[in-house]
Structure 1
Amino acid sequence: MARYDNRREYKKDLYRRNQNIRVPEVRVINTDGTMIGVMPVAQAIALAKEQELDLVEISPNAQPPVCKILDYNRYVYEQGKKAAEAKKKQAKVTLKELRIKSRIAPHDLDVKIRQIEEFLRKKDMVRFVVVFHGRENQHKDIGIQILNDTAKRLAELANVDGGLQSMGNRMSMTFVPKN
């Protein structure tokens, strides 16, 4: 594989064009989108050169491969713009984690649930963890009750992902925002 010094040269080699097209015949599409038909590659390249444009392989897996007559540099630029736009519209989901002890006061629990609601409105996933210390480990039922009550209170905003999970001295539940 060739090594490129800058990214522009690499991007220019993304699509096969003109003499790099190595099949005997191709289906040719004109600049305005009309189908010209199936013809030998040499004839298609000559037709593109006549219009001072390039023959670019758009769909190499088709039978025969589809090529379009267009300005190659402009095409690469437009494809890059489309990719950037698609990336911009992608949702970035983050996972927030809130930890509490099993002996939490009701008001403190309400505060934590309001925080979870805020995160869910911002479309973030939330892992709610109940941590047990020392003798609290004998009362896992308290943690189960806290997590189940929290799930009921957040039922309008979120779905529970994976149910209740227990690992060592921790119990957790992951909430995924509803759309």
Structure 2
Amino acid sequence: MAIKELRINRKIRSREVFVIDADGTQRGVMNTYDAVQMAEDLGLDLVEVSPNANPPVCKILDFGKYRYEQEKRMREAKKNQTVTKIKEVRMQPKIEKHDMETKSRAITEFLGEGNKVKISVRFRGRELAHTELGKVVLDKILDVLGQNNVSYILERSAKMEGRMMSITVAPGKNTTASTKNTDAGENLASEDDAE
């Protein structure tokens, strides 16, 4: 439940509440009016922390301090979470070697930053009749990444989407691991052989 949705003091609607005081001692089921009066006598607030319980559970605490601590905890959690972006690199089936090297450097940079990369080959006009050339280009890009010792995981193999064929690669777990992606079945087989 969000902090803003918590009901405090006289906004609590139920007739009776289960009260936990500021020390954490359970005071039991009380009339809501009496519980609010007890909290006000201590200079604190009665906060409904579990409204779905029967009767609702309320704590006596300093609501301003409680709200500050919750927001601080949420900010810390947000700071520690990692955001993965999907970058896209587009090319055409008739790509030159130099252009492919430039695109592979961009892909390497994106993977190094921890981003996923969608590598797309765009077909125009009559090129749609030869979609196998797009698969060849995507395989060449993966070979170049492998030759440059770039650690990656192939998340999605080549698939046509309208006029584009694309694959998705994610950063590898570590840079010392094998750079070429193998099927999960092959990985399992090699682990079974090792045992």
| TM-score, scaled to structure 1 | 0.77
Q: Distance in 2 between matches of 1:35 and 1:12?
A: 22
For residue 69 of structure 2, give the secondary structure of its aligned residue in structure 1: helix
Corresponding position: 1:170 with 2:161: no
Unaligned runs of 5+ in 1: 1-10
- Aligned with residue 121 of structure 1, among 96, 112, 117: 112
1:159 aligns with 154
2:13 aligns with 22
Identify the range of structure 1 (20-29 vs 100-109) with the bigger mean alpha-carbon deviation: 100-109
Q: Which amino acid aligns with 1:164?
A: A
Do the aligned partners of 1:99 and 1:128 also contact (CA within 8 Å) in 2?
Answer: yes
Do the aligned partners of 2:89 and 2:120 also contact (CA within 8 Å) in 1?
Answer: yes
User: How many aligned residue pairs are there?
Assistant: 168
CA pair 149-34 structure 1, distance change in 2 beyond 3 A: farther
Q: Distance in 1 between matches of 2:6 and 2:123?
A: 58
Do the aligned partners of 2:86 and 2:118 also contact (CA within 8 Å) in 1?
Answer: yes
Kindly report which structure 2 residues correspond to 1:32-43, keeping only aligned pairs within 5 A, or say none: 32-43=23-34
Corresponding position: 1:69 with 2:79: no
1:87 aligns with 78
Residue deviations 1:37-63 (CA, integer Å, cap 9, x gap): 222212222221221111111111122
Q: Distance in 1 between matches of 2:44 and 2:84?
A: 43
Do the aligned partners of 1:28 and 1:39 also contact (CA within 8 Å) in 2?
Answer: yes
For residue 5 of structure 2, give the secondary structure of its aligned residue in structure 1: coil
Q: Which amino acid aligns with 1:31?
A: A
CA pair 125-49 structure 1, distance change in 2 beyond 3 A: same
Do the aligned partners of 2:151 and 2:171 also contact (CA within 8 Å) in 1?
Answer: no
1:109 aligns with 100
CA pair 151-66 structure 1, distance change in 2 beyond 3 A: farther
Q: Which amino acid aligns with 2:110?
A: F
State the Cα distance separating 1:70 from its structure 2 match: 0.8
Q: Which amino acid aligns with 1:50?
A: D
Unaligned runs of 5+ in 2: 174-195
Q: Distance in 2 between matches of 1:118 and 1:54?
A: 53
Kindly report which structure 2 residues correspond to 1:34-53, keeping only aligned pairs within 5 A, or say none: 34-53=25-44
Sequence identity of aligned pairs in percent?
41
Corresponding position: 1:58 with 2:49: yes
1:6 aligns with none
State the Cα distance separating 1:29 from its structure 2 match: 1.5
Do the aligned partners of 2:118 and 2:169 also contact (CA within 8 Å) in 1?
Answer: yes
Q: Distance in 2 between matches of 1:142 and 1:67?
A: 67
